[in-house]
Amino acid sequence: MQGTLFVSQTGLTAQDAKMTTISNNLANVNTVAFKRDRAVFNDLFYQKQFQAGAQMDAENQRPNGLQIGTGVQVVGSQKLFAQGSALTTGVETDISIVGKGFLQIEMPDGSTAYSRDGQLHINSDGMLVNAAGLPLIPQITVPENAMGISIGTDGTVSATISGSADPEELGNITLAGFVNPGGLEAIGGNLFIETQGSGAPMEGVPGEDYFGSLKQGTLEGANVNVAQEMVDMIATQRAYEMNAKVMTAADEMLQTLNRTM
């Protein structure tokens, strides 16, 4: 019975972790470029009483072994980087990445973070920055007398300057890619940082080789499917209830055993 209680407890812990993951996905259903998570489970080690194929006597072998599982554990959470739906905003500083790649963001300590969130702004110095005021890498500065901004699919940023007939090129937005984007570490603020699991970043031009193109006036929505999350939530709730019932049943069996002794 003690083993049953332990196994049930691991089940409760695992389902609680999955429910937390689902709730975070649903909480971020309207977060720009949010990538949903899924919990990854593994079964725990097995208590082996005897091995399949063991000799029962001089002529016969056991057709099956006896292995008793000890429960489940959460071994990780995986970011799923499927493309989110396009949200048309018409704002000239909004961009979405259609395909693979990340915008490069300069952190306050000088390090580089990565983001799919193309909700850009112009700060008081004229630089293109994210919602937290952190500048793009490479930095792009918009002149005060700019009448309008154009961002090409290849990342070329141009502005129409007052008194000039021809647009002026201000710079180029480049993208970074990773062999294993699922290995990136999410740090909040729609930002990720490099880890050993993600591999080193590869920088490139939007629309070339590995990288997706940019689309001005749009944002990438969260890739959360609300209907699927609700189905997963119900299934997780039922699994939690079943583990709790097993724990209750095991406790009742222990009480019955104690009364008969």
| pLDDT > 90 fraction of the chain, expressed in percent and rounded | 67
Residue 6 reports pLDDT greater than 90? no
pLDDT given for residue 116 in this prediction: 96
159: which residues sit within 8 A by CB, 6+ positions away?
A: 142, 143, 146, 147, 148, 149, 150, 167, 168, 170
Per-residue pLDDT reduced to its tens digit, 206-252: 999 889 999 999 999 999 999 999 999 999 999 999 989 888 888 77
Dihedral angle at the C-alpha atoms of 174, 179, 183, 188, nearest 10 degrees?
10
pLDDT given for residue 166 in this prediction: 82
Instruction: Give me the sign of the Cα torsion angle 201, 204, 210, 213.
Output: positive
Per-residue pLDDT reduced to its tens digit, 84-138: 999 999 999 999 999 999 999 999 999 999 999 999 999 999 999 999 999 999 9
Q: What is the mean pLDDT of the chain?
A: 90
pLDDT given for residue 90 in this prediction: 92
pLDDT given for residue 2 in this prediction: 64
User: Please, where are the H alpha helices in 92-133?
Assistant: none
Residue 202 reports pLDDT greater than 90? yes
Residue 3 reports pLDDT greater than 60? yes
pLDDT given for residue 148 in this prediction: 86
d(CA 191, CA 204): 19
43 pLDDT band, cuts 50/70/90, is confident
The residue ranges of every structural domain in the chain are 2-80+225-260, 86-220
